Amino acid sequence: MSERFEAPELSVIIPVGARHADLEELYADYRRGLALTGKSFEVIFVLDGSLPNEAAALERLSASGEPVGIVRLTRRFGESTALMAGFQSTQGRIILTLPAYQQIDSSEIGKLVRAVEGSADVAISHRWPRAGSWWERFRRRIFHRLIARATGQPYRDLGCAARAMRRRVLEELALYGDQHRFLPVLAYRQGFRVVEIDVRQSARDRFEGAYRPREYVHRALDIFTVFFLTRFTKKPLRFFGMVGAVTLGLGVLLNLWLAVEKLVLGHALADRPALLLGSLLMVLGMQVFALGLLGELIIFTHAREIKDYQVEEIIEFPGEDPKASKKEDDARLPRRPSPYLG
């Protein structure tokens, strides 16, 4: 692709998994929206798993001269991995991620691009007005309220995969598992500016299936993961220490109560399961606390390698060159002979 297209302004990544529309029709729809932006673009389709029919359709598009690239993964790795694999093949300064099925009206893509060209680093879509059943609206509202409580960031449509971002965002982030859903949350934690843009929902955006119970369990675990990553990544002792202190405190209180019963009331402790429970709580509490302390030691050891901030601007002092003055200062310093030289 680099031989035919030099430095496109927009790079579009479309991960293709189990759920996808007709890719040739989807590309034609997205192409119209991308053309409205007035910018050069490339489209990278990432085939997540064995999809021979889809690969053949995309090869026809590429052979016809369309700016289409194809990345085929050896097996299904998940959407987060597919996004990162597609990013490695992009060249544009603005990255667009679009789903392999219609979620937003393609004419609204320009809104996301203009937001990123302004002051935002990441622009995510909020489909409005939003269609769907009452159960879907209720489930979506509960999900976003839990995210807001866990992270302090009140998003409204994290399920929409239509997003635009500056290239450096994906250069700084490392997505894995199902973290693609929480890309705005992780980007905000890294210091990037995130905005949510109202866009028209596609008339074809209809989910006909139903989520299995394990999907809800997975989302609950994902929310807990994001909660930990956004609040305690660099402060593990605050989390594990709090849990360990509560557990240890419960064990101590329980054993103290049993000791009072033994010494004051004369109750026997030999057949009391509460004694075993209190001892286990104390041991567990100390172990959890030690786990947090170990995490703090690891963070301290690698603190210089961790970068969780972004520099917006550096204003240099308009005086003399600091490097030149440093050399002059060094020249004025008295020279001492090295003890290792004869």
pLDDT tens profile 90-143: 999 999 999 999 999 999 999 999 999 999 999 999 999 888 788 888 989 999
Beta carbons of 184 and 154 less than 8 angstroms apart: no
Beta carbons of 164 and 196 less than 8 angstroms apart: no
Q: How would you label 89-111 residue by residue, b for 16+ Cβ within 10 Å and e otherwise?
A: bbbbebbbbbbbbbbbbbebbbb
Spatial CB neighbours of 275, under 8 Å, sequence gap ≥ 6: 255, 258, 269
Answer yes or no: is pLDDT of 330 > 70.
no
Q: How many CB atoms lie within 10 A of CB 140?
A: 16
Q: What is the mean pLDDT of residues 146-159?
A: 92
What is the structure's pLDDT at 317? Answer: 62
pLDDT tens profile 239-256: 999 999 999 999 999 999
Answer yes or no: is pLDDT of 322 > 60.
no
Could you tell me the two tokens for 249? 């405190």
The answer, yes or no, to whether the previous bond of 129 is cis (omega within 30 of 0) is: yes
Q: Is 309 left (phi over 0), alpha (psi -120 to 50) or beta?
A: beta
Question: Whole-prediction pTM value?
Answer: 0.79
Strand partners, 123: 164, 195
pLDDT tens profile 159-203: 999 999 999 999 999 888 888 999 999 999 889 999 999 999 998
